[in-house]
Amino acid sequence: MNNDILVVGSVAFDTIENANGCAKRVLGGATSYASICASYFAHPSVVAVVGTDFTAQDKAPFIKRKINLKGLEVKEGKTFHWGGSYDKDFNTAITKFTDLNVFKDFKPVLSKEQQNIQTVFLANIDPELQLSVLKQVKRPRIVACDTMNFWISSKKAALLRVIKQVDVLFLNETEARQLTGIYNLISAGKWLLKKGVKYVIIKLGSNGSMLVSEEGIAQLPPYILEHVHDTTGAGDTFGGGFTGYLASLKSWDNLTAIKRAMMIGNVMASFTIESFSVKRLASLTKRDIDKRLKEYTAMLKF
């Protein structure tokens, strides 16, 4: 149970266009990327909803990674489907359509077993739903939370209530500035610390990630790739790898563990962006991960 991680959020289909081509109706959603990534370090159990169009083939990456799908609800109707495109720099997604379908009425309900899982990753969903999950979990030792600009603009009060109850908050630099009204990211991070969160992780896209905490501040670069195929899900992968790694530790609440988790997140995200969907991420070996972590560590030395 100590090495289990509860991942709550969306399992979806994505249709993506970018300079490398088009991927239609491929597996996506924050919970997909986060749980598959976390599975290399811990034992994920997901809470999400899909439609009756979600096939055994769609489930295959989860099954391959031995992810607990007892909390994957199947409802009559279609699975959440998002479509978007990227420009040449891959930094900004332009949404073309968002069909919520069965996800529109998603209400996460945890089993007794899931209520006792000690590591919780609240993927990017309505903060009201995140609050409902926090009411159901019993004694979590780690709670990490992701969010997005839509919730900051539409549910800010609820999001601030979530932040009071979590250990780690993930958000990108635009979201950090939007939520706090502060342009400088260190100052924005310190503002969020005053709201109750212990560690603020600001995702910087092609510039890596930044940590703001009471114990210290750090910025880690990304693992540098010559070719980027698609950046969809990179942030969710980062969060899943970061939190999954912490779940594997007996003692996680220190600067050394958090920095190492950032390294893990950056490296795992670098695999995701090598393909559309979870194709590359779901096919990794321990050797692949260890090799890239070694390369990344060497890159940081001078």
Give buried/exposed letters for 57-74 (b at 16+ CB in 10 A, else e): ebbebbeebebbbebbbe
Q: Report the predicted TM-score, pTM, of the whole model to 2 decimal places.
A: 0.96
Give the separation between CA 251 and CA 254, rounded to whole angstroms. 8
Q: Please list, in sequence order, all residues whose beta carbon lies within 8 angstroms of the beta carbon of residue 172, skipping any fewer than 6 positions away.
A: 202, 203, 204, 205, 235
The enclosing H or E element of 48 equals: strand 43-51
The pLDDT assigned to 1 comes to 52
The pLDDT assigned to 269 comes to 96
The DSSP secondary-structure symbol of 163 reads H
Q: Sheet holding 4-8: strands in order across?
A: 68-75, 43-51, 4-8, 119-122, 142-146, 168-172, 199-203, 209-213, 217-220
Give the separation between CA 271 and CA 278, rounded to whole angstroms. 9
Residue with tokens 């749980």: 35
The pLDDT assigned to 293 comes to 97
Pairing of strands 4-8, 119-122: parallel
What does the pLDDT profile of the chain (302 residues) look like in tens digits? 567 999 999 999 999 999 999 999 999 999 999 999 999 999 999 999 999 999 999 999 999 999 999 999 999 999 999 999 998 778 778 899 999 999 999 999 999 999 999 999 999 999 999 999 999 999 999 999 999 988 999 999 999 999 999 999 999 999 999 999 999 999 999 999 999 999 999 999 889 999 999 999 999 999 999 899 999 999 999 999 999 999 999 999 999 999 999 999 999 999 999 999 999 999 999 999 999 999 999 998 87
The pLDDT assigned to 114 comes to 97
Collapsed DSSP state (helix, strand, coil) of residue 260: helix
Give the separation between CA 47 and CA 249, rounded to whole angstroms. 23
The DSSP secondary-structure symbol of 205 reads G
**Residue 275 Cα to chain centre, angstroms:** 17
Cα separations in angstroms, 209 against 7, 16, 38 = 21, 25, 18
DSSP string, 71-125: EEEEESS---EEEEEE-TT---EEEEEEE-GGGGG------HHHHT-SEEEE-SS
The pLDDT assigned to 87 comes to 84
| Nearest alpha-carbon partner for 209 in 176, 179, 247 | 176
What domains sit in the chain, N to C, each tagged with a CATH number? 4-300 (3.40.1190.20)
Give the separation between CA 201 and CA 176, rounded to whole angstroms. 10
